[in-house]
Amino acid sequence: MGGRVCGGYKLDLPPEAVRRTVDPVDNRSDIRDFLTSRRARITPEQAGLLPGGGRRRVAGLRREEVAVLAGVSTDWYIRLEKGHIAGVSEDVLEAVGRALQLDEAEQTYLFDLARAAKPTRAPQRRGKAQIKPRVQWMLDSMTGSAAFVANGRLDIVATNTLGWALNSPMFDGPRRPANFARFQFLDPQARDYYQDWGGAANITVALLRAEAGRRPHDTQLRELVGELSTVSEEFRTRWAAHNVRIHHNGAKQFHHPVVGALDLGYCTLELPTEDHSDLRLTIYTAEPGTPSEDALKLLASWAATTAAPTTRDATAAAPDPS
């Protein structure tokens, strides 16, 4: 049985010959909330500062303590935390990141917020693009692993047969493209499907928050966040935490409706594309000789004998941001 592939999605970018700029994003509230939340989680002792200084009215570090650690003036850091980030050099942002003990994903997010606050040349407008056939060939060659390609909004845009089978509860609904965030926060099945629903939900929101920093003009991402924020308090709470993540690898536990418990490792890789469409390949595998390997083989057999949706029904078109 062949894999399922995206029917194609637009990548709306301006023509090469036309040079124009897009307005900077007013992300001052995001900058303020992010820096404030990172500052609140660090104690003076964790930052290597001497205890004392009287009664503390705020959790974590004071603004002036962050300024000292970063080697900038207090007034300058206060302006930064109020969202005035345009024009700040990467060296200074790195110094602030070190003072706040930001990890790789958080430091990248801070840089992305700074870039979004500057006027930039509008990206080139491209026509309708499709997942290249060679990507689907690669997916279909991975017969013992569940593999799929997703975009930054966590839409599944291509998958192999076992990837479709693993994520089959996500494809039960009519809405396409299937989206991890919508499934986790809007579909009651998700609570049973993920053995650690809370942990999976945390990762999903952190990935979307990081994507919002990278692509501030993505109208579809804003609509997705707005939709989930409106109907899901669980999502709203996590979104407000301003946690970010870069998805590399890890392990997840599922309770699949067909084969039961699955304990799988995964690896996520950037997928180079000619149009820079920001796609990621994720591969799930089971440890050899484990019950999960047997269950994954059983799932592959089930998928091979199940009436499959059509190619376009499995993963439908996903327009890129305007």
**Residue 94 forms part of a structural domain:** yes
Give the pLDDT confidence of 116-146 residue by residue, as tens digits. 877 665 444 433 346 788 889 999 999 999 9
CATH number of domain containing 82: 1.10.260.40
Q: pLDDT band at residue 311, thresholds of 50, 70 and 90?
A: very low
- 259 and 132 in a single domain? The answer is yes
- 184 and 82 in a single domain? The answer is no
**Residue 19 forms part of a structural domain:** no
User: How confident is the model at residue 262, as a pLDDT?
Assistant: 97
- 158 and 269 in a single domain? The answer is yes
**Residue 320 forms part of a structural domain:** no
- 131 and 273 in a single domain? The answer is yes
**Residue 321 forms part of a structural domain:** no
Chosen domain end from 58, 83, 118: 118
**Residue 271 forms part of a structural domain:** yes
User: How confident is the model at residue 11, as a pLDDT?
Assistant: 31
- 88 and 158 in a single domain? The answer is no
Residue 312 has pLDDT above 50, yes or no: no
User: How confident is the model at residue 94, as a pLDDT?
Assistant: 95
- 132 and 34 in a single domain? The answer is no
User: How confident is the model at residue 305, as a pLDDT?
Assistant: 87
Higher-pLDDT residue of 3 and 256 is 256
Chosen domain end from 118, 152, 178: 118
Segments forming the whole domain that contains residue 44 = 24-118
Higher-pLDDT residue of 259 and 121 is 259
Chosen domain end from 89, 118, 147: 118
User: How confident is the model at residue 315, as a pLDDT?
Assistant: 57
Residue 291 has pLDDT above 50, yes or no: yes
- 221 and 156 in a single domain? The answer is yes
Mean pLDDT along residues 76-102: 92
- 159 and 95 in a single domain? The answer is no
- 53 and 84 in a single domain? The answer is yes
CATH number of domain containing 151: 3.30.450.180
- 155 and 287 in a single domain? The answer is yes
User: How confident is the model at residue 133, as a pLDDT?
Assistant: 87
Give the pLDDT confidence of 162-176 residue by residue, as tens digits. 999 999 999 988 888
Kindly report the three-state secondary structure assignment for every residue of the chain: CCCEECCCEECCCCCCCCCCEECCCCCHHHHHHHHHHHHHCCCCCCCCCCCCCCCCCCCCCCHHHHHHHHCCCHHHHHHHHCCCCCCCCHHHHHHHHHHCCCCHHHHHHHHHHHHHCCCEECCCCCCEECCCHHHHHHHHHCCCCEEEEEECCCEEEEECHHHHHHCHHHHCCCCCCCEHHHHHHHCCHHHHHECCHHHHHHHHHHHHHHHHHHCCCCHHHHHHHHHHHHHCHHHHHHHHCCCCCCCCEEEEEEEECCCEEEEEEEEEEEECCCCCCCEEEEEEECCCCCHHHHHHHHHHHHHHHCCCCCHHHHCCCCCCCC
**Residue 319 forms part of a structural domain:** no
Q: What percentage of residues in the chain have a pLDDT greater than 70?
A: 81
Residue 13 has pLDDT above 90, yes or no: no
**Residue 102 forms part of a structural domain:** yes
User: How confident is the model at residue 309, as a pLDDT?
Assistant: 52
- 93 and 35 in a single domain? The answer is yes
- 152 and 291 in a single domain? The answer is yes
**Residue 18 forms part of a structural domain:** no
Mean pLDDT along residues 229-233: 96
User: How confident is the model at residue 121, as a pLDDT?
Assistant: 55
Predicted TM-score (pTM) of this structure: 0.83
The total of structural domains in the chain comes to: 2
